[in-house]
Structure 1
Amino acid sequence: MKNTRILTEGAIQLAIFTVLLLISLYMPFIGIIATLFLSVPFIIFTIRHTYKNGLLLLLVSLIPSVWFGSIFSLPMAIMFGSSGVVMGHVWSKKQGRYILLLVGSLAFLINIVLLYIGSVLFFDFNFAEEIKVMMEEAFQNAQSIFSQVGQLPAEEVEENFQQALDLAIYLLPASLVLASVFLAWMTQLVTAPILKRLQIKIDDWPPFRDLMLPKSLLWYYLIVMILMFFPLEQGSFVHIALLNIFQILQLLMTIQGFSFIFYWAYQKKIAQKWAAAIVVLSLLFPFLLYLVRILGIIDLGFELRKRLKD
């Protein structure tokens, strides 16, 4: 009886996944939204029937992925399916939303990296190089348009463009990390209401004001910042690695700063909408982000929250 119930629900979740996959493949605008739900059937099935059955569902889902899509839809099915199984397993263990976000991000990141490596090895398609070529062609087209009206861009503009393009390519690893975090966060966002509707008990997000990153990140941030002052060969592995780690750590310090702002507003009994307004203003005026980042560093290093309580 139990196996029959598992097979029945597995068939239902497989059908839901197949419909979502077809929508994501063949309906351009709605497909973007449908893509965010691709992991949901695997999450629900794994929570109810353990990760072993979730992996079995993942293997079976590859058949309709190729049958109704193509061989190129396999990576999408594997990425969202495996990430769904991992997130469903962690969700069933009730280890907290931040752990779920971390593990889900790692699952998506591993899939994205493997997809990138596979595209280079088997299809000779380098995503980074293609973007660089497209941007260079767009800039050359812009140059030709300016030349037709008798206005050529200054050499300084060309140099700045090339430097910005190189920087964008160098920061590709950090961009992949952020994309993975975004996918894991969005997956949680769309899945939580469904799980609650199905009466599956899940933990709520802890208040953002209580977020405290590990203090060790501050030491990593300082070490990387010091290493950045050393003369490094532009485009070398060490240079690119430090650049990406530094950007991610800067983002984490900024998040810590925003968390402190919400904590300060809560302690001072100030409406949370004003703290949210500060976040919006910081995003609109980037120079404010430097102040928020410094605030996050001070909060992490000198425990400002304890001083507010005293």
Structure 2
Amino acid sequence: MNNAHKLTQGALCLAVFAVLILLTLYIPVLGLVTNLFLAIPFILFAAKNTRMDSFVFFVAAIILSIIVGAILAIPLTLIYGIAGLVIGHFIQEKKSRAFSFIAATLVCLITSIVLYAVFVVIFNMNIIEELIRTMRDSLDQSVAIFEMLSRNNDGAAMEQFEAMIKMVESLTPSLFVLTAVTTVLLIELVSFPIVKRFGVIPQQRRPFKEITLPKSILWYYLVIIIASFILKPEEGDYWYLALVNLSFILQLCMVVQGLAFIFYICHKKGIPKAVPIIATVFTIFPPILLPIVRILGIIDLGFELRKRLENKNG
């Protein structure tokens, strides 16, 4: 690719990025949608250029974001820009979708943690504490309204809300991981159909029904459960936070395994696709099926149900 063509491509991608960042920052409702497209210019440029060229493009994007969006645009540029560059280069190198997803999730997670630390140390702004403070204020207002209306209140709902607030505090590390995973999933979901139209073709992803997590995850989960019973850590100390977060992440893995098994069974039995999709919805919100799906995941992973069914049918 000659320099003139490279400069033209870079300028076009930067122009698209500038429009997207402006829409994201200054049009609140529309911005919730357009922010998901911010990674596209980075994916397109990185997939067709060298790493050095991509680095120069990234620096130019940061400068442009400061000009058009001030300091507020930098976090968005860093998170979506770095993730987009990683995805784009792995597409160029024809790496697997799983490898690309893991790498993009890791850089997204690291970037988010660094930004969080910067905001706390330099700007004295703790987003997590602000969220928890807002939740507590909401709880206090609810209590005041109940008292003002003189309604009988056994306090059960308030206790549950307070427990939820404490759980959010404890699960902060896991929430960072979950946010990074969700962000990369949304980036791929939104970006890949668009970049394909420009000749950037990602590797094919394995169907969700074929996803099987490493069996060792089940042993890790068992170890965490046993450790929780043996250590019985007090709420708030190091071991409590470590065990709670590890348990949360591993339980999510079991849920993913369980959902994959449901998709597999529905595919094998010719059940309409709407059924596993509805099951997924009721596993996430409201989490009516969550315990059942988690148990299914444990059984499938522990007893290799899909492999047994394949051998039986074979």
| TM-score bucket (shorter structure) | over 0.9
Report the residue type matching 1:184 in the other structure. V
The percentage of counterpart residues that share the same residue type is 37
* 8 Å Cα contact 2:101/2:184 also seen in 1: yes
Report the residue type matching 1:26 in the other structure. Y
Q: Quote how far apart the aligned CAs of 1:151 are.
A: 3.6
Distance 1:140 1:19, change over 3 A: same
Q: Quote how far apart the aligned CAs of 1:158 are.
A: 4.5
Aligned to 2:3: 3
Report the residue type matching 1:242 in the other structure. L
Aligned to 1:137: 137
TM score, norm. by length of structure 1 = 0.93
Cα-to-partner distance string for 1:230-265 (whole Å, 9 max, x where unaligned):
310211122112111111111111111111122222
Quote the Cα distance in structure 1 between the aligned partners of 2:141 and 2:297.
Answer: 43
Aligned to 2:186: 186
SS at match of 2:47: helix
Distance 1:106 1:159, change over 3 A: same
Aligned to 1:44: 44
Aligned to 2:122: 122
Distance 1:284 1:66, change over 3 A: closer
Q: Quote how far apart the aligned CAs of 1:283 are.
A: 4.2
SS at match of 1:36: helix
Task: Please show how residues 10-29 of structure 1 align to structure 2 within 5 Å.
Answer: 10-29=10-29
Aligned to 2:83: 83
TM score, norm. by length of structure 2 = 0.92
Report the residue type matching 2:182 in the other structure. F
Distance 1:290 1:149, change over 3 A: closer
Aligned to 2:247: 246
Quote the Cα distance in structure 2 between the aligned partners of 1:86 and 1:185.
Answer: 14
Q: Quote how far apart the aligned CAs of 1:154 are.
A: 4.2
SS at match of 2:184: helix
* 8 Å Cα contact 1:55/1:82 also seen in 2: no
Quote the Cα distance in structure 1 between the aligned partners of 2:143 and 2:161.
Answer: 12
Report the residue type matching 2:95 in the other structure. Q
Gaps of 5+ in 1: none
Q: Quote how far apart the aligned CAs of 1:121 are.
A: 0.2
Does residue 300 (structure 1) correspond to residue 293 (structure 2)? The answer is no
* 8 Å Cα contact 1:298/1:304 also seen in 2: yes
Distance 1:156 1:191, change over 3 A: closer
Gaps of 5+ in 2: none
Report the residue type matching 1:303 in the other structure. E
Aligned to 2:105: 105
Quote the Cα distance in structure 1 between the aligned partners of 2:21 and 2:74.
Answer: 10
Quote the Cα distance in structure 1 between the aligned partners of 2:14 and 2:243.
Answer: 43
Cα-to-partner distance string for 1:187-237 (whole Å, 9 max, x where unaligned):
111111112211222223321111111111111111111112231021112
Task: Please show how residues 128-167 of structure 1 align to structure 2 within 5 Å.
Answer: 128-151=128-151, 153-154=153-154, 157-167=157-167
Aligned to 2:273: 272
Quote the Cα distance in structure 2 between the aligned partners of 1:25 and 1:67.
Answer: 13
What is the root-mean-square deviation of aligned Cα atoms in Å? Answer: 1.9
Does residue 93 (structure 1) correspond to residue 83 (structure 2)? The answer is no
* 8 Å Cα contact 1:51/1:88 also seen in 2: no
